[in-house]
Structure formats: C-alpha cells, structure tokens
C-alpha cells in the first residue's frame, strides 16, 4: 500500500520593529507563511526563523496574547513584538517569570568597551574574557542578569531568559542602543562605578587617614592641583578629574541625546 504524504501546515506570522533585523529582506515588515511542525511551540517556531527568544516580549495569536509554550495551529495569524520597556503591557501574557528591568548586565567577550561604558553610567557590568557561552549563560541565569551579546546562538540557549542582542558594532552606538531599548535614562548615575572592575566608588576625603594611605599612588603633579578623589571599594583603583574626563562626559552627553 502506498504511503500518503502528510499535508504540510502553515501559519501566517509577522515580526515588528527591530526583530526584522534577523530576517531576510523578503520577510521584513510583512506577513509571510511559515511551515509548522507537529508539537512545535511558538518559541520553537520563532527561533527556527532566526530570532532569539530573548528579543521577544509579546506574542499575539489572532489578537490574543500567548506565552512561549503555546502550540500554534494551522492557519493561526501570529504577531511577534520586541521588548517593550516604555509601554505598559501588564495586562497581557508575560513571556518571562520575572521582568527584564533589572539594570545589571553580563557581556560576552566581544563587548569589552561597551562594558566600560555601562559602568561609566553607573550600572553593574560583568565582563570576563576567559568565559565561553556556557559560562555566560549560567552566570546570567544564576545571578538574574541581562546577557548582552551579538551572538544569536548564545541568546537562544534555554537557560537564558533575560538577554538582548546588540545590533550596532560601534561601542558609542551600542551604549545608546542599550539605554534606549531598556529606557535606562532615569537610572543613570555617572562616575559611580569603577571602569576597570565595576565596583562601587566612594569619595576619599582629602588628607583623611584613608587618603594618606594611598597618597603615594597619586602622581605629584596631580597632587599639586587636585583635591577631589574617588577609590574603588573592590579593586582599589583611584580616580580624579583628569584630561580624559572631557571624552567621558562626551559619551554621557551623547547617550542623553538619544533619549528623544
């Protein structure tokens, strides 16, 4: 007896805003047919089309919000939206057990400069050059951190719930992108963290006992004019207002220019 081939099933799906970045040009900003396999969840379907689940914050099926475990049916009309940090979607089905808005980060090996810029704005940013994908995913999960990466495969790992794909390659654009997409402007606290390790900075009172202990680490030329210093409580690095501050202030100003 000859086998009868199974009829293929399809859904209609559309991705919105920056999610189109992951799609071929022919599928961007338009609805298209996607093949549906038996037992496939909507999360499986989305990732099969090249989009990490961490980039998605809302899925509507025929206008009804669903979670990632929903199993689509043939002829479903699916709309997929990116992370909405500036809109209230609290009445809709949440795709994560906890919200994304914990502004503390872990970054992959390719984002070292971005890590420094995040710390410059006062946010915690863990960065290790010797960590592989498994280390990053586990650390983000265990510490409830937002994983930043330009690696789609890393963000598709099942244990990564809070993550964000970084679209830009230029660090100055990357930091503006992070602040814009996560709406971090009201939480920015410049020069409150160490750029090297991310530890908290505290003020050293000039000529205090603490200051006298580290005085010999400061160049004599700086001591002759500077009276305001900060020290990292983690690594001990000392900071003062040097010529490099003009560049750092420029970075901070450019971030707020992107707020509009």
91-125 pLDDT, tens digit per residue, is 555 565 555 555 899 999 999 999 999 999 999 99
Q: Is residue 23 part of a domain?
A: yes
Tell me the percentage of the chain whose pLDDT exceeds 90. Answer: 67
Contact 144, 102 (CB under 8 A): yes
C-beta of residue 226 within 8 angstroms of C-beta of residue 147: no
- pLDDT of 146-197, one tens digit each? 999 999 999 999 999 889 999 999 999 999 999 988 889 989 999 999 999 9
Residue 225 CA to residue 229 CA, distance in Å, equals: 12
Residue 230 contacts residue 191 (beta carbons within 8 Å): yes
- Same domain, residue pair 110 and 178: yes
Q: Is 91 inside any structural domain? A: no
Count CB neighbours of 73 within 10 A. 11
pLDDT digits (tens, 9 = 90+) for 138-149: 999 999 899 999
Chain centroid offset of residue 117 CA: 13
Tokens representing residue 221 in the block: 């030329």
Residue 69 lies in a domain: yes
Task: Show the domain range for 52.
Answer: 9-82
Whether 223 is covered by a domain: the verdict is yes
In-domain check, residue 22: yes
Residues 174 and 115 in one domain: yes
- Domain total for the chain? 3
Residue 179, token pair as written in the block: 């602040």
Which residues, in sequence order, are CB contacts of 200 under 8 Å at separation 6+?
Answer: 192, 193, 194, 232, 233, 234
Is residue 218 located within the same domain as residue 183?
no
Residues sharing a CB contact under 8 Å with residue 152, sequence separation 6 or more, in sequence order:
22, 50, 52, 165
Residues 6 or more apart whose CB falls under 8 angstroms from that of 182 comprise: 83, 85, 100, 101, 103, 146, 164
Three-class SS state of 141: helix
- Contact at 8 Å (CB) between 122 and 104? no
Q: Is residue 75 part of a domain?
A: yes
Question: Do 124 and 184 belong to one domain?
Answer: yes
Q: Are residues 119 and 178 in the same domain?
A: yes
Residue 98 lies in a domain: no
Q: Are residues 148 and 172 in the same domain?
A: yes
pLDDT for 203 beyond 70 = yes
Arithmetic mean of pLDDT, 206-223: 89
């Amino acid at each position: 007896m000859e086998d009868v081939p199974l009829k293929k099933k399809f859904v209609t799906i559309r991705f919105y805003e920056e999610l189109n970045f992951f799609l071929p040009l022919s599928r961007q900003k338009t609805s298209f047919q996607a093949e549906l396999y038996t037992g496939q969840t909507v999360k499986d379907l989305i990732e099969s089309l090249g989009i990490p689940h961490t980039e998605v914050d809302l899925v509507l099926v025929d206008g009804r919000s669903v979670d990632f475990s929903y199993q689509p049916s043939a002829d479903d009309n699916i709309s997929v939206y990116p992370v909405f940090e500036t809109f209230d979607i609290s009445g809709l089905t949440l795709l994560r057990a906890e919200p994304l808005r914990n502004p503390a980060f872990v970054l992959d090996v390719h984002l070292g400069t971005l890590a420094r810029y995040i710390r410059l704005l006062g946010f915690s940013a863990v960065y290790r050059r010797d960590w592989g994908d498994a280390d990053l995913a586990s650390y983000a999960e265990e510490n409830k951190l937002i994983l930043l990466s330009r690696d789609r495969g890393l963000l598709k790992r099942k244990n990564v719930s809070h993550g964000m794909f970084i679209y830009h390659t230029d660090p100055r654009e990357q930091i503006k992108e992070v602040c814009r997409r996560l709406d971090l402007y009201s939480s920015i606290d410049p020069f409150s963290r160490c750029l090297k390790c991310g530890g908290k900075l505290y003020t050293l009172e000039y000529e205090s006992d603490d200051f006298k202990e580290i005085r010999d680490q400061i160049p004599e030329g700086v001591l002759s004019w500077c009276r305001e210093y900060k020290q990292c409580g983690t690594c001990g690095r000392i900071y003062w207002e040097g010529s490099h501050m003009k560049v750092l202030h420029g970075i901070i100003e450019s971030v707020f220019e992107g707020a509009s």
